Structure 1
Amino acid sequence: MKAILLGPDEDGLGDALADEGVEVSHIDTIANRPALEEAGITEADALVLTETEGATVISIAKDLNDDVQVVVYTDETLPDFARGQADLIVDPQLLSAEAVAEELSA
C-alpha cells in the first residue's frame, strides 16, 4: 500500500503507517498538481490530509487517481466543498494514529 501524507504530522500518523508496512510519501510544500504527481498520486492508495488548508487538492488528487481514498486526520473543520470528496474524516482526539494506520493498511 502507498499513502501520501499532506501537512504536518504532529500526531505521528506517517510513522504509524510506516510501522504497518505502508510506503509513505510526505508533501510538506504547497499542495498542487506537480507536488501530487511527484509524490506518486497515480499509484497511491490513500491521500491523508492533516490540515484542511490544502483541501482544494482533494479534487486534483481524485482527478489524477479515481481510486485514491482521501482521509482527513485533523481536528480542523473541512470546508463544505471538500467534505463530499473525503472518504474518511477523523479527529485525532477520537482515534489514535495507530488505530487509523491499522485500519488503512488492512
Structure 2
Amino acid sequence: MKAIVVGSDAGIADALEAEGVEVTRLEGVASGERLEDAGVADADLLVVTDVGEATAIPVAREHNPDLKTVAYTGDGVPEFVKGVLDLTVDPALLDAAAVAEELVGA
C-alpha cells in the first residue's frame, strides 16, 4: 500500500509506516505537480492533516479517481472538499496508530 501525507503529519505517517505502508510526505503547498511527483497516480491513500491544503484532495482525485482520501485534523473541512472526501478523523478522538490500523485493514 502507498500513501501520501500532506501537512505536518501528527504521527499518522509514522503510524502508517509501522503498518507496512510506503509513505511519501508533502509539506507546504500540495500542488498538482507536487502530487504527481509524489506518485499520486499509483497511491492508494491520501491523508491531509492541514485543512489549508484541502485543495489537494480534489486535485489528487483528478489524477487518481480510486484514491482513498482522509482528513486527519481537528479543524473543519471546507465544504467544497466534502464531496470527494472519504473520511474525516479528529486526532483528539482517535490516535494515529488506531487510524492507521483501520485504514490498512479497510
State the TM bucket, normalised to the shorter chain. over 0.9
Query: What does 1:1-106 correspond to in 2, within 5 Å?
Result: 1-9=1-9, 11-106=10-105
Deviation readout 1:28-49 (Å, 9 max, x if unpaired): 1311011000100000000000
Q: Which amino acid aligns with 1:44?
A: A
Look up the equivalent residue of 2:45 and give its one-letter code.
A
Q: Distance in 2 between matches of 1:58 and 1:18?
A: 21
Q: Deviations over 1:42-100 (max 9, x none)?
A: 00000000011011121111110010000000001001111121100000011110010
Letter in 1 for 2:100: A
Q: Normalization by structure 1: what TM-score?
A: 0.96
Runs in 1 of length 4+ with deviation above 6 angstroms? none
Give the Cα–Cα distance (whole angstroms) in 1 for the partners of residues 20 and 54 of structure 2. Answer: 26
Q: What percent identity do the matched residue pairs reach?
A: 49
Q: Distance in 1 between matches of 2:83 and 2:33?
A: 24
For structure 1, list consecutive stretches of 5 or more residues without a partner in the other structure.
none
